Amino acid sequence: MKKIAVLFASAIVAFSGLAGLAHAEDKPVEIRVAYSGAGTGGRPLSSGTIVATAHLRGLLEQEFKADGIKVKWSFFPGAGPATNEAFANKLVDFAYHGDLPLVVGRATGLKHKILLSLGRFGNTYFMVPSDSEAKTLADLKGKRIATFKGTAGQLTLNRVLEKYGFTEKDFKVISMDGDTAKAALATKDIDGYITTPFDLEARGIAKRLLEIKRDPKVTSVGTFWVSEEFEAKYPQIVQRVVTTLVKEAQWDSDEKNRDALFKLWGQAGSTPYSDYVKTWAGYTLKERNSPLLDDYYVASLKKAVDEAKRFRLTRSNVDINGWLEPKYLNQALKDLKLENYWQANDADGNVKK
Amino acid sequence: MHTSKHWLGAGLIALAGTAGAAAPSNEDLQKQIQALQQAVDALKQQLQAKTNEAAAAPAAVAAATDAEPVEVATKQDIDGIRADLENYKYDQQRNRDTKTALTKRALTLAGTVQVRASSQSQQTTSGTTATAEPRHTTFDVPSVLLNLSGSLFKDYSEGKNLDYKIGFSYAKNVNSGSVLATVAPNGSQLNLTDAYLVYSFFPTVAGLEEPKLTATFGQQQIPFGLEAQAAEELRPVINSAQFVNASGVGNRQIGLILRGDYDPYVDYGFNYRAPLIEYALGIVNGSSTNKLDDNGDQDYLARLAFTLPVDYNSWLRELKFGASYYKGTKNLVATPTIGAGAGTATLRATGKSDRYGVDIYYNHDPIGFTYEQVEGRDDLLINTTQAATTRKGREVSSRGQTFTGFYTWGQQWVKSYKGQAKYDDWWPTSYQAFVRWDKWDPNLDVGKDDTTIYTLGLNVFFAETTKLQVNLNQYHYGNPVLKTNNELLAQFQYGF
């Protein structure tokens, strides 16, 4: 029996040793990409960004197929906070994040480098149940407003409330994911929620309380980052990932692909095709799918850092110095001859002159 | 384009008008040419304006020039969809009526089963009612649990729900002295384990920052220490720590228990919640499962735990210190050998049966450990063979200690990762190796009566509710007469 004990212990020790050898190569065995969101019904796909399109069109898989590098996607219904949790446990190399979880993760010590901007601008709609008697936000004081706490949606809600002179404390703000909140609007278990309106209105279950058209101070920027560890170890792989995504951004910015793009994104179900058509009307694909880390991106990120602290959504300060790493984007733009393809925005979101 | 046609028409009419009149002078012709030139210039400007407009709104141009031909649904198409919808509704209703288990209220049916193979160095005949030759190895089904749970009242607006649970556990008829073992020596029973209602006093949908408070009424596990209140399917080691059964803190009790927390530390960036204080207070029969109270005193219990208020990303995450107290009353029974009532077990008095516990819990993937110490203090009659004595002797103090350290490979305990979106029945295959030191001393005043078990184990989680467990146990006895026993256990534990 002693022999069995020694054998058993040896097996465990050997197994633990093998587990540590997984990355002892020049190139990674796999590239782990996390997406803060998932399709309706827990399906592994998403929409609304160039990274979502790259997944749907298999661009990264094509890029690394010849090298035998597997691209491993993780779509998290738990959104940005779930991506943070996975990254804290060393399970993520690249990720798409909304502003609030990105800032909170950084504030608690997560180490990543920002590579690309993912999505900007758009309209903001505050929805209430179809039979709501509220005419203004003031009529909802003390009532239940849903948001997915810890995600960019919470910061957007705080900006909207502040714009009209309120704070979260004026309402009962409860946490729900998007699908649950839409269902709760239908059953009138919540009194308000920020989301796209058209499918809810078509079904007659909700109506717009207010609509904020193109206010770059309210909408946020998305971010694509790489872990500092991966970037230090495989810079050439990082460059190929970024170049591939910039190619994708060009496809996503071409008006010829508008309908095809919205059809792809509509597959995820969380925002229907018809809502993409209507909510993106009045915007060019180029301006919303710009990958540039321009003045607007930097100003938006700084604003998110300040707001997260001011709205008491994080406890620690965040210094953005050294956080952005634009060299991969600049190289990709140069290689693809796209230096002037997207127009940079100034800090206020206007086209930079 | 319409405007340009008007300008062109006007120019031609002007030309035609002049053609029927007297021959124009050179000056008139010059003027007409100038007018025509102006008309052409205006047309050019409009064309340029249209081109600029189109360039400014590429979407509109793209839609006009490159969009696919518009397809309009016909009445037949819509009728087809209606027919499909009606068929679907019929199908749903028929399946619900004939192929679905229906319940009066929402019900979750769940179970846990263990199937095991074991081998030990010391031969034994224990665990069977048959006339048996001593064995070294056997196969076994040590545990089957069946649980039904749901909500009796679901508060959609605030989550102050009234929930229920009923649980059953299979047990073998192995005790040769029991009636059941006599009637069906190789049979089994299904014993009631859990039967309770639980009500949430505080809202449960408001968010992680809200404190919790529930009242649980009925038969339930008691909030004592760590291992005793962990559900069977969550325990890392095949066999429970010795003190769980020996001290009785693992017994379910019937009564009312409040459980809550205060001032939770919330890190929304990670969906992490760590209540600063967790507390529990309860009053129970103290006579274990499926029994009325067997004395005039109730038993009381209390637990307090403190978790460090740190961010998820801190290395001190999930470091918790707890203390538990159980004030019990036990019946002191004596079977006198002389005098009236000789040979009959008789209640002589009641005495205390208290339990004190402290515990530490730390779980920061991939490493973690738990430590628990439980001490029991029990009254005993001074001499149970004396006639009619009610005098209590010196109380008996018992003590159990357990340390478990583990290391994990895989994502079994990363909530977000195992909850990620997937099409198929995916689960992150994980491995957990652990060591345990488990000591139980039933009487601190008596020497050489302790038992220490060293365990080396591996858990392999290869499906959502299924794991393979391999434990190598080595039993050391304080009593030198008893030989050290080595035991190898391998079991699948699966849930549904």
Q: Which of residues 254-273 of B touch A (CB under 8 A)?
A: 267-272
- Residue the block writes with tokens 């010059």: B30
User: Does residue B59 surpass a pLDDT of 60?
Assistant: no
For residue B313, the distance in angstroms to the closest alpha carbon of chain A comes to: 6
d(CA B10, CA B5): 8
User: Does residue B238 surpass a pLDDT of 80?
Assistant: yes
Q: Which of residues 363-402 of B touch A (CB under 8 A)?
A: 365
User: Do the chains contact at B421 and A45, CB–CB below 8 Å?
Assistant: yes
Instruction: Name which of A251-265, B43-57, B99-113, B137-151 the model is least confident about.
Output: B43-57
Write out pLDDT tens, residues B439-488. Answer: 999 999 999 999 999 999 999 999 989 999 999 999 999 999 999 999 99
At B377, the amino acid letter reads: R
| Whole-number pLDDT of residue B199 | 98
Across B55-76, average pLDDT: 60
Write out pLDDT tens, residues B105-139. Answer: 989 999 999 999 999 998 888 877 777 788 999 99
At B344, the amino acid letter reads: T
Query: Which is nearest to A118 in space by CA: A274, A301, A279?
Result: A301
Helices (H) and strands (E) in chain B, counts: 7, 17
| Whole-number pLDDT of residue B69 | 57
User: Do the chains contact at B268 and A85, CB–CB below 8 Å?
Assistant: no
Query: Which is nearest to B454 in space by CA: B398, B399, B405?
Result: B405
Which range is most confident: A29-33, B26-30, B158-162, B184-188? A29-33
- Strand bridging mode B135-153 / B162-172: antiparallel
Contact status of A15 with chain B (Cβ, < 8 Å)? yes
B291 DSSP assignment: -
Across A300-328, average pLDDT: 93
Cβ(B371)–Cβ(B414) below 8 Å: no
Contact status of A235 with chain B (Cβ, < 8 Å)? no
Given strand A206-212, what is the order of strands in its sheet?
A172-175, A144-147, A192-194, A124-129, A206-212
Q: Which of A89, A110, A180 to mutate to test the interface with B (most CBs of B within 10 A)?
A: A89
Q: Which of A9, A42, A81 sits opposite B269 (nearest CB)?
A: A81
Name B81's Cβ contacts closer than 8 Å, sequence gap at least 6.
none
Cβ(A207)–Cβ(A201) below 8 Å: yes
How confident is the prediction for chain A on average, in pLDDT? 91
Contact status of B302 with chain A (Cβ, < 8 Å)? no
Higher pLDDT, A21 or A224: A224
Q: Which of residues 425-464 of B touch A (CB under 8 A)?
A: 431, 433, 456, 458
DSSP-assigned states of every residue in A249-289: HHHHH-GGGHHHHHHHHHTTSSS-HHHHHHHTTTS-HHHHS
Contact status of A98 with chain B (Cβ, < 8 Å)? no
pTM of the model: 0.82
Across B307-331, average pLDDT: 94
Note whether A30-120+221-335 and A124-212 share their fold.
Answer: yes
Q: Which of B207, B311, B419 sits opposite A175 (nearest CB)?
A: B207
Write out pLDDT tens, residues B189-211. Answer: 889 999 999 999 999 887 888 99
CA angle B430, B435, B436 (to 5 degrees): 125
User: Does residue B21 surpass a pLDDT of 80?
Assistant: no
Contact status of B296 with chain A (Cβ, < 8 Å)? no
Going by pLDDT thresholds of 50, 70 and 90, the confidence category of residue B52 is low
Q: Which of B136, B310, B313 to mutate to test the interface with A (most CBs of A within 10 A)?
A: B313
Domain residue ranges of chain B, discontinuous segments joined by +: 2-51, 109-495
Chain A positions touching B311 (Cβ under 8 A) are: 108-109, 315
Contact status of B416 with chain A (Cβ, < 8 Å)? yes
Q: Which of B118, B123, B160, B416 to mutate to test the interface with A (most CBs of A within 10 A)?
A: B416
Name B397's Cβ contacts closer than 8 Å, sequence gap at least 6.
B375, B376, B377, B443, B444, B445
Chain B positions touching A75 (Cβ under 8 A) are: 420-421
Q: Which of A12, A154, A316 to mutate to test the interface with B (most CBs of B within 10 A)?
A: A12
User: Do the chains contact at B419 and A313, CB–CB below 8 Å?
Assistant: no
CATH class (in words) of the domain with range B109-495: mainly beta
User: Do the chains contact at B157 and A104, CB–CB below 8 Å?
Assistant: no
At A116, the amino acid letter reads: L
What value of ipTM does the predicted structure carry?
Answer: 0.83
Q: Which CATH number is A30-120+221-335 given? A: 3.40.190.10
Hey, what CATH topology would domain A124-212 get? Answer: D-Maltodextrin-Binding Protein; domain 2 (3.40.190)
Higher pLDDT, B57 or A107: A107
DSSP-assigned states of every residue in B202-234: S-SSS-TTS--EEEEEEEE----SSGGGS-GGG
Query: Which is nearest to B396 in space by CA: B439, B358, B353?
Result: B353
User: Do the chains contact at A76 and B420, CB–CB below 8 Å?
Assistant: yes
User: Does residue B300 surpass a pLDDT of 50?
Assistant: yes
At A19, the amino acid letter reads: A
Report percent pLDDT > 70 for chain B. 85
Cβ(A260)–Cβ(A273) below 8 Å: no
| Burial of B170 per CB tally in 10 Å (0-12, 13-18, 19+) | middle
Residues listed for chain B: 496
Query: Which is nearest to B272 in space by CA: B281, B263, B264?
Result: B264
Dihedral angle sign, alpha carbons of residues B103, B105, B108, B110: negative
Domain residue ranges of chain A, discontinuous segments joined by +: 30-120+221-335, 124-212
Chain A positions touching B486 (Cβ under 8 A) are: 1-2, 4-5
| Whole-number pLDDT of residue B176 | 61
d(CA B86, CA B91): 9
Contact status of A144 with chain B (Cβ, < 8 Å)? yes
How confident is the prediction for chain B on average, in pLDDT? 86
Chain B residue at shortest CA distance from A285: B59
User: Do the chains contact at A101 and B269, CB–CB below 8 Å?
Assistant: yes
Contact status of A101 with chain B (Cβ, < 8 Å)? yes
Going by pLDDT thresholds of 50, 70 and 90, the confidence category of residue A323 is very high
Cβ(B297)–Cβ(B350) below 8 Å: yes
Q: Which of B270, B411, B431, B483 to mutate to test the interface with A (most CBs of A within 10 A)?
A: B270
